[in-house]
Structure 1
Amino acid sequence: MEYITVQEAAEKWGISVRRVQFLCEKEIIPGVVKFGKVWAIPNEAEKPKDGRYKAHRRTKEG
């Protein structure tokens, strides 16, 4: 199995390095492995859906 780094995954998925690190820490990416201080992400891993939500803006009426 081939692995990619956090930096490579961030570029591939179009998200920040910190976000990929968070996904690794919470084991949201299947097959992720930590070697010492470095995360190894399977090359075929797909970008997880973003589980965060946006706050709705309040609108003034009248």
Structure 2
Amino acid sequence: MNGYMTTKEAAEKWGITQRQVQNHCKMNRIPGVVTHGTTYMIPENATRPVYGFFSEQPAEKHASDN
């Protein structure tokens, strides 16, 4: 779907695990998430959710960082 990314793509972009992204989706921490069957579709412009478990979170990975 245009304009959306999968949990795997979001995990790679944000530098976290796919399971963590799925949990963020399940807990409604990412605005604009759409479910397609059992798959979460995340808006491409979504930012990594900030939650209180960690005091500091690393920045998102960018394509130029490779």
TM-score by length of 2: 0.75
Identity of matched residues, %: 46
Structure label with greater radius of gyration: 1
Stretches of 4+ aligned residues off by more than 6 angstroms:
none
* Residues 1:44 and 2:45 are matched in the alignment: yes
CA-based RMSD of the aligned residues comes to: 1.5
Offset of residue 50 of structure 1: 3.1
For 1:1-62, list aligned pairs within 5 A: 2-53=3-54
Which AA in structure 1 matches 2:29? I
- Structure 1: which 5+ residue stretches go unaligned? 55-62
TM-score by length of 1: 0.79
- Structure 2: which 5+ residue stretches go unaligned? 56-66
